[in-house]
Amino acid sequence: MELGSAEAFDRMGTLGIEEEFFVVDERGRPTAGTDELVYGSDPPPILEDRLDHELFKCVIETQTPIIERPSDARESLLDVRAALVGHAEAHGYGIAAAGLHPAAKWRELEHAEKPRYRDQLARIQYPQHRNTTAGLHVHVGVNDAEKATWIANQVRWHLPILLALSANSPFWNGFDTGLASARAKIFEGLPNTGMPTEFGSFESYAALERRMVETESISDRGELWYDVRPHTGHGTVEVRTPDGQRDPERVLAFVEYVHALVTDYAERYEDAPTPWSEGDAHRRETLDENKWRATRYGRDASFIDRDAESVVDLPTAVDRECDRLGIDGIRSVLEAESGAAAQRRLRRESGLDRLCDSLRL
């Protein structure tokens, strides 16, 4: 039984970036390539033990090495991406990035044969069979399990801001969904996903992991696919909200924001005499509402504010966060055309071929 422990939380402020990409053919369409890229050949050294696949044979995942200093995130991310693209091209494939690939039709794509995924398909059925999603996961090391659990609680309100800024998946299975991030809704079709409840202690989260595995509700702790979680294996707070991104600058902006949030809350935890008594005004239902607004409207979203009474629009929330945390990246993302809008524009003006080409790294 694979379970983590409180002892894993022993470093503060380190970073890890996981990205999911689509393996594509010469026309930019998703194609089964992970058997060859993951199992059939040796990857570049930087990807050794950091290259894996997801449910579909057209979805591949990379992980950066542990990044000790935030200033090293750019070099690490670019090196990993360059190695993946080179590895794919050497075997006749391309790499593309988005929350959902606009040309992916799940009934026509091959599922991976890994026993873990075959078990999920048998257990979950339709929601997993159609899960052609690709996301960005950001890990920030936290040096105490109780602190990490508390931070994960606090970060929840900020996740819809991340989703609204990263929304990059308007098309699914060949049609325009009307959503800015259809990936968010497709993924929420799986069990144990979405906005988590508030946990009153690390033990309460660890008890959930243990109970879910022992009752055979999940195969391992990794199948608690919440938008944020204390990762009991890596000793991090893991944020899993954003859509996949082609532009590395956007990835780095989201990494900067997540790192700033986690370290800011870590300082608040240390300074507060009784941090667990600082209850959030939000119920899970209002946090879900904010996520829905981000999913549906993307850049045009407004949110129920921290006081759970007023409403704040995305530009105001972004300005407030940047000023409070001393960051700039997400403000630059806000000022640029959104991923969802760009995809719709390209498909309307130039067609699907041009859209697919635009997503290639």
CA dihedral 203, 240, 251, 233 (to 10 degrees): 40
Predicted pLDDT of residue 2: 67
Per-residue DSSP letter, 47? G
Pick the closest to residue 253 from 349, 129, 166 (CA basis).
166
- Contact in structure between 100 and 171 (CB atoms under 8 Å): yes
Put residue 298 in one of left, alpha, beta given phi > 0 → left and psi -120 to 50 → alpha.
left
Q: Which two tokens stand for residue 14?
A: 């380190």
Q: In the prediction, which pLDDT does 195 show? A: 96
CB 213, CB 2: distance < 8 Å: yes
Q: Is 49 exposed, middle or buried (0-12, 13-18, 19+ CB in 10 A)?
A: exposed
- pLDDT score, position 185: 97
CA distance 294 to 164: 4
Distance CA 295, CA 184 (A): 7
CB 76 within 8 A of CB 67: yes
d(CA 351, CA 12): 47
Q: What CA–CA distance (Å, rounded) separates 230 from 141?
A: 10
Can you give the pLDDT at residue 275? 76
Are 100 and 123 spatial neighbours (Cβ–Cβ below 8 Å)?
Answer: no
Q: Which two tokens stand for residue 40?
A: 């059939």
Q: Distance between CA 165 and CA 285 in Å, rounded?
A: 21
- Predicted TM-score (pTM) of the model is 0.96
76: Cα separation from own chain's centroid: 18
For the stretch 276-332, pLDDT in tens is: 665 567 889 999 999 999 999 999 999 999 988 999 999 999 999 999 999 999 999
CA distances from 249 to 5, 65, 183, 253 (A): 34, 19, 21, 6
How far apart (Å, rounded) are the C-alpha atoms in residues 30 and 12? 38
User: With a cut of 70, which residues of the chain have pLDDT below it?
Assistant: 1-2, 273, 276-280
- Smallest CA-to-CA distance from 102 within 57, 3, 168, 43 is with 168
Query: What is the rounded distance in angstroms from the CA atom of residue 349 to the CA atom of residue 326?
Result: 38
The domains found in the chain, sorted by start residue, are: 6-358 (3.30.590.20)
Measured between alpha carbons, how far is 330 from 249 in angstroms, rounded to an integer? 10
